[in-house]
A and B are shown apart, each in its own frame.
Chain A
Amino acid sequence: MLALTDIAVRYGDRDVLHGIDVTVAAGELLAVLGANGSGKSTLLRAAAGLAPTTAGTVTVDGRTRRNLDIALIFQQIHLVRRRSVLDNVCAGALGRLPLRRSLVPALFPRAVREEAMACLDRVGLAHRAHDRAGTLSGGQQQRVAIARALHQRAPVILADEPVSALDPAAAEQVLALLAELAHAENLAVLAVLHQPDLARRYANRLVGLRDGRIVLDGDPGQPVDSLYPSRALQEVP
């Protein structure tokens, strides 16, 4: 379980997050919604340890967060496009491998490569293992990034707008996969989204942020209009 307690973040003289409390249970997909500048990406970065917090704690299964406890999935995917799909997934294991067994892909132990294949199979891309990552479609690349996150064996996955760069069909596939993995693998998944309709369909719970404060928390079916300053100006689907 991921628990964010009383998280506050300040950039310069501006408070971006004001004492946020959020928990994500194992097996749960939590969607975080909010307008641009509401603090949702900062919340995710604070949870990942990428944004300095001025107050609060982040724990995973009751322990203070360690890097290996949290796997990240990014909007722009962040694969090494020239490397094979399999090598990209194997990179998820780097944090637990000694340097002598991981300096170059050829040194990866067989067990690591076979586990990577199983992760790729989990996201339906085992048949593309030896293709260059850059030759895959955007949706497939995001699924490879999810396989890499699985290979990290982290109990928590944080996804920062994981479908914003994808077409609607690929976005559906990726969100469905994240929801299915959260349930089947008992992972705590927190996804920052810009698509309320996808959040309604795939999340177990929805948190809405406005001006750095939680204004909604609960059933994903609840109305989210209050999160956005004006329906006329909002750019969400």
Chain B
Amino acid sequence: MTLPTVASEAPRLAVPPKPRRPRAALLGWVAAGLVVGAHLMAWSATEISLGNLVAGWQGMARFLAEAIPPDLSPQVLADSVAGALVTLWIGLLGTTLSIPASLALALLAARATTPAPGIYQAARGLLSFLRAVPDVVFALIFVTAVGLGPFPGVLALVCHNVGVMGKLWAETLEDADPAPAQALRSAGAGRLQVASHALLPSVTPQLIGLLLYRFDVNVRSSLVLGLVGAGGIGFLINQSIQLFQFDQMLTHILVVLVLIVVVDRVSAIVRRRLGSSA
């Protein structure tokens, strides 16, 4: 027995041709041409050479051969774990100590909460500056001021993180539902009262989610800061490379891998829980 098909009986209507938009098509081609051109320039400027990569494979092989197996002796492992913990603490403090300045600048740099257009522009400018200066450059500056060690790493992360987190928070505040703020404004609430009683509580999960994301990024950044003398396991990796102890370097990298995975998982779990409670 064959089942009756309804498809053949369903009414149909011819699809009209799409309207031609020659201007949009031209813009599309121009944009594609610019993207391709930018990639060609980047390829040339970064001196990419697959030939050099193939020719140098023996160097990489030798490097890997000396690194494997990793040195898992108790002393190296203990140093590695201690270094990883310092890296974690640098990332933690670099994130939490930047909260007050990030929040203050975010409030000044969000249209809904800024007291004046001039202050808005100044706050946005300061955030752009802090974001534009890489944390490694901040670290080098602070190393010259306070010497080698984790402290300049924390200071560098705080400075750079204020720029990034302040901007992310400001944009979250600008995207917040304006309705509760309007209600409080009409009840006579001032700008700070509106921010603290309507805007901030409306976007708290997003703000904490961004904070955790930045913590995740900062732990990874603090590794790189270690390479320029700002302490932590990055410092140990740099030391191992300079002393040609590549097996110890691999041990440190494996410990870093564990650290990054743990931070990433914990941060993801907390973000998910915040999302479900929003």
Residues of chain A having any CB pair with chain B under 8 Å:
48, 50, 67-68, 70-72, 74, 76, 78-83, 87, 91-92, 94-96, 99, 102-105, 145, 148-149, 152
List residues of chain A with CB within 8 A of the CB of B179.
Answer: 74, 76, 78
Q: Write 9 A-B pairs (CB below 8 A) sorted by A numbering.
A: A72-B183, A76-B179, A78-B179, A80-B201, A81-B202, A95-B189, A99-B192, A103-B192, A148-B187
Residues of chain B having any CB pair with chain A under 8 Å:
179-180, 182-184, 186-190, 192-193, 196-198, 201-202, 204-205, 278
- Expressed in whole angstroms, the Cα–Cα distance for A62 and B192 within the complex equals 31
- Expressed in whole angstroms, the Cα–Cα distance for A92 and B179 within the complex equals 15
List residues of chain B with CB within 8 A of the CB of A145.
Answer: 183
Q: How far is the CB of B181 from chain A (nearest CB, A)?
A: 9
- B202 touching A50 by the CB < 8 A rule? no
**Nearest-neighbor residue (CB-CB) of A158 within chain B:** B186
- A102 touching B202 by the CB < 8 A rule? no
A94-B197, A99-B192, A105-B197 as given contacts; A79 in contact with B180, CB under 8 Å = yes
Partner of B190, one of A50, A74, A99, A149: A99
A76-B179, A78-B183 as given contacts; A102 in contact with B193, CB under 8 Å = yes
Q: How far is the CB of B274 from chain A (nearest CB, A)?
A: 11
Q: How far is the CB of A136 from chain B (nearest CB, A)?
A: 15
Given contacts A72-B187, A78-B183, A94-B193, 7 further A-B contacts (CB under 8 A): A76-B179, A80-B180, A80-B198, A91-B183, A91-B184, A91-B197, A145-B183
Partner of A67, one of B182, B188, B202: B188
Partner of B187, one of A50, A71, A80, A103: A71
List residues of chain A with CB within 8 A of the CB of B180.
Answer: 78-80
A74-B183, A78-B183, A82-B201 as given contacts; A104 in contact with B188, CB under 8 Å = no
A76-B179, A94-B184 as given contacts; A82 in contact with B189, CB under 8 Å = no
- Expressed in whole angstroms, the Cα–Cα distance for A91 and B198 within the complex equals 9
- Expressed in whole angstroms, the Cα–Cα distance for A91 and B193 within the complex equals 9
List residues of chain B with CB within 8 A of the CB of A95.
Answer: 187-189
